[in-house]
Amino acid sequence: MGFLDIDNVTKSYGAVKVLNETEISVEKGEFLVLVGPSGCGKSTLLNMIAGLESVTSGELRINGRRINEARPADRNIAMVFQSYALYPNMTVRGNISFGMEMHGIPKPEREKKIAAVAELLQITQLLDRKPGQLSGGQRQRVAMGRALTRDPDVFLFDEPLSNLDAKLRVDMRTEIKKLHAKLGTTIVYVTHDQIEALTLSTRIAVMFGGDVQQLGTPQEIYDNPANMFVAGFMGSPAMNLVPARLRNIGGVMSAEVTLATGTAITLPFPKASHLTQDDGREIILGIRPEALTDPEGASRDSQAIHQVDIPVDVIEPAGSDTFVTVSLGGKDAIGRFRAHTSARSGQPFPFAFDMEKAVAFDPVTEARLA
């Protein structure tokens, strides 16, 4: 049993089931990110933990205590909302103090808490302003400050950075991470941004269609996605999903990929060594852009670099990297080259496939095979 248990929880609105049986156990101090496209059930799950939506079936427990029926205020949680939800009629001080006031904390103690939190978040000079006079980043800090005063068992974040501009988002991301490191509170954090998920979390639950598709550390999710949805959703540019065929050549497994020219290339695929019975089986080969590079850019640690000349379709310089598009198995695939590459569009160029990083999926079930 973990610190926060999501035990077989479901949610239905009438006949519509928006969250299927979900089982997640969060340890104390963990930073769990629920990530997925809109409508995947992540916000519903968060709201259920907060007590803002009822639980259709299953049980929610914090520290072993069932909280399904507890009021939001009695769950000892705090929440930061997407819009920050600062009370516009109160000053920053009033906003931070309101929750403590509701819980009957005496004024001197409240003042002390406010001062400490304001110090921590560097908003002391803003305490007497109204939310309308604050910038987006400042509001974000106040919203976190309000949540912090509660000393909650669990901290809930509902897409807290999505209203900020790109630069501020990166700054605040770092700050949330620092805060977590400093305070060690258990956090459940909802976002649709896979980079936020990868950078912040200790564990990620990738959700889609009301189901948790995969639950794991950022590394596990990134390197070994459980299925094609996770593979496509996590990482940017997305993992290349290339139609291919398994080949058993004298007991050594390879993946065979057809180029635009019609020639087939054979890539040794040691990871598929448990599939020797499946010679000729159609698969979807998953290769991240950073595993499809110029030869000089290939990983030095990898034992399975395979080099092939392929005609280049499009070259897109992006500052630190250059993205190179080629046709693999009839699909566009993107490779990540170093900034100054000599590849030219229309001309063949040697590509290095890092087959240690490649994965394979079943085209029908979309589950990972290797």
Partner 1 sequence: MTLRPARLFLYLILAVFCVYYLLPLYVMLVNSLKPLSEITSGGMMALPGDWTTAAWTNAWSQAQVGVEATGLKPYFMNSFLMVVPAVAIATLMGALNGYVLTKWSFKGATVLFGLILFGCFIPFQIVLIPMARALGFLGLAGTVPGLIFVHIIYGISFSTLYFRNYYAAFPTELVRAAEIDGAGFFTIFWRIMLPNSGPIAVVCVIWLFTNIWNDFLFGASFADYDSQPMTVALNNLVQSSTGVKEYNVHFAGAIMAALPTLLVYIVAGRFFVRGLMSGSVKG
Partner 2 sequence: MARSAPSAAARMRELLPRIVLSPTIALIAIFVYGFIFFTTYLSFSDSRMLPSFGWVGFDNYVKLFQLRTWDIAITNLAIFGTLYIGICCVLGLSLAILLDQKIRAEGFIRTVYLYPMALSFIVTGVAWKWFLDPGIGLESVVQGWGWESFEFNWIKDRDMAIYTIVIAAVWQTSGFVMATFLAGLRGIDSEILHAAEVDGASKFALYRRIVIPQLRPAFLSAFVVLAHMAIKSYDLVVALTNGGPGTATEVPATFMYSYTFTRNQMGVGAASAEIMLLTIAAVIVPYLWSELREPKR
Measured from the CB atom, the residue of 61 and 177 that comes closer to partner 2 is: 61
According to the binding rule CB under 8 A, does residue 103 interact with partner 1? yes
- Sole window of 49-57, 200-208, 230-238, 319-327 interacting with partner 1 (rule: CB under 8 A): 49-57
Q: How far apart, in whole angstroms, are the C-alpha atoms of residue 149 and residue 114?
A: 7
- State the binding partner of 98 from partner 1, partner 2, none, CB within 5 to 8 A by kind: partner 1
According to the binding rule CB under 8 A, does residue 66 interact with partner 2? yes
- State the binding partner of 317 from partner 1, partner 2, none, CB within 5 to 8 A by kind: none
Q: How far apart, in whole angstroms, are the C-alpha atoms of residue 200 and residue 28?
A: 16
According to the binding rule CB under 8 A, does residue 332 interact with partner 2? no
DSSP 139: H
- Sole window of 66-74, 301-309, 339-347, 349-357 interacting with partner 1 (rule: CB under 8 A): 66-74
State the burial class of residue 71 (Cβ atoms within 10 Å of its Cβ: 0-12, 13-18, 19+). exposed
Among 1, 71, 88, 342, binds partner 2 (CB under 8 A): 71
Distances (CA, A) of 61 to 9, 64, 359: 11, 5, 36
- Sole window of 84-92, 165-173, 318-326, 333-341 interacting with partner 1 (rule: CB under 8 A): 84-92
According to the binding rule CB under 8 A, does residue 102 interact with partner 2? no
- Sole window of 66-74, 180-188, 220-228, 355-363 interacting with partner 2 (rule: CB under 8 A): 66-74
In the block, tokens 């080949």 appear at 247
The answer to whether 156 and 60 are in contact (CB under 8 A) is no
Task: Retrieve residue 74's tokens.
Answer: 């009695």
According to the binding rule CB under 8 A, does residue 59 interact with partner 2? yes
DSSP 289: G
According to the binding rule CB under 8 A, does residue 51 interact with partner 1? yes
Q: Could you write out the DSSP letters of every residue in 207-240?
A: EETTEEEEEE-HHHHHHS-SBHHHHHHSSSSPPE
Task: Retrieve residue 335's tokens.
Answer: 């490779």
271: helix, strand or coil: helix
Among 52, 120, 170, 238, binds partner 1 (CB under 8 A): 52
Among 7, 17, 61, 85, binds partner 1 (CB under 8 A): 85
Measured from the CB atom, the residue of 14 and 88 that comes closer to partner 2 is: 14
In the block, tokens 């769950």 appear at 75
Footprint on this chain of partner 1 (rule: CB under 8 A): 50-52, 71-73, 77-79, 81-83, 85-89, 98-99, 102-103, 146
